[in-house]
Amino acid sequence: CVALDVQAACRDTAVTQELLKEGFHRDLLVKVELGEDAGGCAVAARTRLPPGIYVDPYELATLQQHNLTKAVLSPDVIDLEAPEYLARDVLLLLFLEPDPRCSRCFRAAVPVHARYHRPAEGTEEAVVVLESPEVLLCCCHGRLSAECWEPAEVDTPCSSDSTGSCQWHSTKHSPACEESMLRVPVGLREHSSLVCALTLLTTGLCSGLILAAACKYGHF
Amino acid sequence: WLLNPLPMAVSSRGNAEALVALLVLATLYWVEAGSVGKAAVCYGLAVHMKIYPLTYALPIALRLRTRPRRGEGALDAGGDKMAKVTFMARLWHLFVKMLNRDVLLFGMVAGSVLAALTVAFYHLYGWEFLEHAYLYHLTRRDIRHNFSPYFYMLYLTAESKWSFALGLAAFLPQLLLLLVVSIAFYRDLAFSCFLHTTIFVTFNKVCTSQYFVWYLCLLPLVMPSIKMSWRRGVLLLFLWFIGQGLWLTPAYFLEFKGYNTFLFIWLAGLLFLSINSLIIVQIISHYQKEAQAAKKLKQQ
């Protein structure tokens, strides 16, 4: 994605977001190319995950323990089993690592999982739309150009040194970006009657068979 | 059991099924050996760890009620006279006589152990413990794919007005079968509990591989009583694995490849139910311990 309204002193920030793998368990890969040098600031991407997907907090904790990913979820209590219509949005703050490919590139990946969606009529899939992430910088020495960056409100503290001088900044010109889409298979409502009837019939038959055997061979 | 790959695989995913299996086996052992108190302690501990042993209360109560005691003749002699009375009268007699000294002792000790553990853990962990150990099961709605034959039906009707009625309809065969099996086979406690758990797991609304360990641990106890040809046994085992394989394949494609295989998973679930039912019926029809037990009682 590229910032649309480009000012003379401000270079473009490019953000891309990709969903790797297939099925219900994916990897969300975020890549950022800053318009200018980060200058020792920590780079992060903030994205709002819709109720259709979630990050497993226990998996995240294990990854953080092994220093593979650093991210913060809010809220941090997530119901792993809830279907999409009973779940809430989650805000994901993902800290990016420098990408060896180019000097101002940063990237990070986090595993995400799709939830079960409502059964649908006429279509076999539900679509989960992921908005483009917001690029945030955490700077402790205030050397960012004020034309490109403005202070941002973020719940998570910027860094572990609580000297108080560290501040979050976001880009002044938010890039317009293509959203990522995740297709999730769903059950078909048209099957309801057939499924209910055949399920109850089969379970009735099977339980009848076992009942008959118990009555025949049982010692009452 | 130590070398069985299924409990190895299940336990390595972080479940303490082996501990619960140990406690259940200990309970059955002490009941058969006559130490009601020790059995009750193990039972209380087992129920605290996992709720499913609660279903063994009925077979254990029926078994404790009919153990021959000093001074009383074998109660089965009394049972013969009962054959002339109507079936309903016998059933009533069975339940009314349930509350003898052993059953009450068992109930009180197990209940106290369970209550004491609950209070202790509530003290340690607070409301979070109660919520995760017990209340969670009342409100849990997990509609994701699993071996249960009811999975697709419950998923499709999760938000409809029939949801409660269908949930109940799914519960009734399970309940009825458990009751009948307890009454039919309580004389052999291990066999009764084995059938109990197999039926409970097979007809449950949620069924995962982890639950298989619950009845597999009782299989070595009942195998000597099941007079089945080696070939038939292997064929049934083979069918059981085929049933799982046929479910796991579309499930893999759904979860890891994103194909819409819900119908195949549902049909494989029904097939797995049928295979399990066939295995249960075969086990019941080849069960032959009663002849030996009756001989022993006559000799006493």
Quote the distance between the C-alpha of residue A217 and its chain's center: 56
User: Which of B277, B292, B177, B282 has the alpha carbon at shortest distance from B226?
Assistant: B282
Cα–Cα distance for residue pair B192/B23, rounded to 1 Å: 17
- Give percent above pLDDT 90 in chain A: 45
| B170, B181, B257: residue with CB nearest A214 | B181
Each residue's pLDDT tens digit, B103-159 = 889 999 999 999 999 999 999 998 888 888 888 777 777 788 999 999 999 999 988
A105-118: average pLDDT: 93
ipTM value for the complex: 0.85
- Residues in chain B with CB shorter than 8 Å from the CB of A111 are none
User: A132: which DSSP letter?
Assistant: P
C-alpha count within 13 angstroms, C-beta hemisphere, residue B57: 15
Each residue's pLDDT tens digit, A62-109 = 999 998 889 999 888 888 888 999 899 999 999 999 888 888 889 999
User: Which of B283, B287, B173, B189 has the alpha carbon at shortest distance from B239?
Assistant: B283
> Which are the contacts of A93, defined by CB distance < 8 A and separation ≥ 6?
A44, A45, A46, A71, A72, A73, A74, A136, A154, A156
Each residue's pLDDT tens digit, A13-27 = 888 899 999 999 999
CB pairs under 8 A between A and B: 135
When pLDDT is cut at 50, 70 and 90, the band that residue A5 belongs to is very low
A111-116: average pLDDT: 94
pLDDT of residue B176: 93
When pLDDT is cut at 50, 70 and 90, the band that residue B297 belongs to is low
- Nearest-5° Cα angle at B158, B153 to B161: 105
| First vs last C-alpha separation in chain B | 34
- Residues in chain A with CB shorter than 8 Å from the CB of B131 are none
Q: Kindly list the distances between the CA atom of residue B109 and the CA atoms of B45, B95, B180, in Å, as whole numbers in the listed order.
A: 11, 21, 27
| Residue B180 touches chain A, beta carbons under 8 Å | yes
Q: Copy the structure tokens of residue A7.
A: 């000012």
A167-174: average pLDDT: 77
Each residue's pLDDT tens digit, B237-267 = 999 999 999 999 999 999 999 999 999 999 9
Q: Copy the structure tokens of residue B34.
A: 């006559």
- Residues in chain A with CB shorter than 8 Å from the CB of B159 are 85, 118
Cα–Cα distance for residue pair A52/A115, rounded to 1 Å: 5
Which residues pair with residue A128 across a beta bridge?
A182
- Residues in chain A with CB shorter than 8 Å from the CB of B156 are 119, 187, 189, 191-192, 195-196
Highest mean pLDDT among A103-107, A158-162, A208-212: A208-212
Of the ranges B55-64, B136-145, B195-204, B221-230, which one carries the lowest mean pLDDT score? Answer: B136-145
Cα–Cα distance for residue pair A206/B134, rounded to 1 Å: 30
> Which are the contacts of B92, defined by CB distance < 8 A and separation ≥ 6?
none
Q: Kindly list the distances between the CA atom of residue A75 and the CA atoms of A49, A96, A145, A156, in Å, as whole numbers in the listed order.
A: 11, 20, 32, 11
When pLDDT is cut at 50, 70 and 90, the band that residue A149 belongs to is confident
Q: Which chain B residue has the Cα nearest residue A182?
A: B258
Angle at which helix A192-217 crosses helix B262-285, to 10 degrees, equals 10
| Residue A123 touches chain B, beta carbons under 8 Å | no
pLDDT of residue B269: 95
Decide if pLDDT at B274 tops 90.
Answer: yes
SS3 A44: strand
SS3 B99: coil
- Phi/psi at A156 (5° precision): -75, 135
Contact A220 B153 (CB under 8 A): no
Contact A218 B185 (CB under 8 A): yes
Each residue's pLDDT tens digit, B57-70 = 989 988 888 765 54
Of the ranges A167-181, B94-108, B151-165, B231-245, which one carries the lowest mean pLDDT score? Answer: A167-181
SS3 B119: helix
A28-49: average pLDDT: 86
B150-177: average pLDDT: 89
